[in-house]
C-alpha cells in the first residue's frame, strides 16, 4: 500500500469507511472483492488503497461517474466501477469477498432471495460475504420506510451452511439519531 488507507476519504470529503469493512480487512488479505451498492465509494477506495482488486457496482449512474472521476484523477488501476442493478441478481464473475453495507434495504423485497443466492454463487470457495442491513422487529420497528427490512434471524438463515465469522442483530443509530436494529454478518463459504 502506497497511500494511507483513508487518504481518499479525507481528500474527497467522503464519509469514513464502514467500520465492518475496516475490521474485515484485519483478517482478509488483498483479493478480488465486489463492493455491491458502492455508493460514493468510501469502502471501494479503502479496499483499493489496501491492495484489493475491486469491482464497484451501483445502480446510480451519478455515483458511479463520481467514483470514476476520482479513479481517473488518482490514476487508480485496481478499481472497476460500473452501473449494475443488484435486483437483476446476474453477477457475471467470481469473487473472494463480496461487501454490501447498508444496501439490502433499498432492494426489491421480491428479489432478496435471488440476490443473496447470486452473491453466494459468485463467491469462491473459502471466500467471504459481508452484509450490514436494516431490520424491522417487534422490539425495534424500523422507523424508516425502506423497501425491504430483514426479520429476526433471516440473514442468518440465508447463510445456513456457511461459517459465520460474525453475526449480530444489534441496535444501531443512524446519522439522524434514529435507532434501529441492524443485522451484521461476516460469513465464510466453506469449500
From the list 1-9, 35-43, 134-142, 152-160, the region that binds ligand SAM by CB under 6 A is 35-43
| Least distance between ligand SAM and beta carbon 96 (Å) | 18
Beta strand 123-134 with 179-188: parallel, antiparallel or unpaired? Answer: antiparallel
Given the complex with ligand SAM, which of 88 and 163 has the nearer CB atom? 88
Q: Which listed range, 85-93, 116-124, 148-156, 176-184, lies at the site for ligand SAM (CB under 6 A)?
A: 85-93
**Is 59 near ligand SAM (CB under 6 A)?**
yes
- Interface with ligand SAM (CB under 6 A), residue from 6, 87, 120, 137: 87
Whether the Cβ atoms of residue 150 and residue 141 lie closer than 8 Å to each other: no
Q: Which residues contact 32 (CB under 8 A, 6 or more apart)?
A: 52, 53, 55, 94, 95, 96, 97
CB of 10 to ligand SAM, least distance (A): 16
Site mask for ligand SAM (CB under 6 A), range 90-119, x = bound:
-----------xxx--xx------------
- By the rule CB under 6 A, 186 interacts with ligand SAM: no
Distance CA 113, CA 158 (A): 8
Q: Which residues are CB-contacts of 130 (< 8 A; sequence separation ≥ 6)?
A: 20, 21, 24, 97, 98, 99, 100, 101, 185, 186
Phi, psi of 119 (to 5 degrees): -60, -45
Longest Cα–Cα distance of the chain, Å, equals 48
Residue numbers at the binding site for ligand SAM (CB under 6 A): 18, 37-39, 42-43, 58-60, 63, 84-87, 101-103, 106-107
Amino acid at each position: 500500500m502506497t497511500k494511507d488507507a483513508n487518504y481518499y476519504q479525507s481528500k474527497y470529503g467522503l464519509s469514513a469507511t464502514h467500520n465492518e469493512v475496516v475490521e474485515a480487512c484485519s483478517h482478509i488479505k488483498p483479493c478480488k472483492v465486489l463492493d455491491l451498492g458502492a455508493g460514493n465509494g468510501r469502502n471501494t477506495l479503502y479496499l483499493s488503497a489496501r491492495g484489493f482488486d475491486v469491482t464497484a457496482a451501483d445502480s446510480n449512474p451519478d455515483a458511479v461517474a463520481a467514483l470514476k472521476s476520482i479513479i481517473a484523477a488518482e490514476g487508480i488501476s485496481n478499481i472497476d466501477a460500473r452501473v449494475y442493478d443488484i435486483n437483476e441478481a446476474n453477477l457475471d464473475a467470481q469473487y473472494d469477498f463480496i461487501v454490501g453495507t447498508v444496501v439490502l434495504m433499498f432492494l426489491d423485497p421480491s428479489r432478496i432471495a435471488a440476490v443473496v443466492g447470486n452473491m453466494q454463487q459468485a463467491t469462491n470457495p473459502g471466500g467471504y460475504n459481508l452484509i450490514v442491513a436494516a431490520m424491522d422487529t417487534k422490539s425495534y420497528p424500523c422507523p424508516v420506510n425502506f423497501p425491504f427490512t430483514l426479520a429476526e434471524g433471516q440473514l442468518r438463515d440465508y447463510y445456513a451452511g456457511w461459517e459465520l465469522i460474525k453475526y449480530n442483530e444489534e441496535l444501531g443509530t443512524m446519522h439522524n439519531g434514529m435507532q434501529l436494529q441492524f443485522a451484521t454478518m461476516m460469513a465464510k463459504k466453506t469449500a
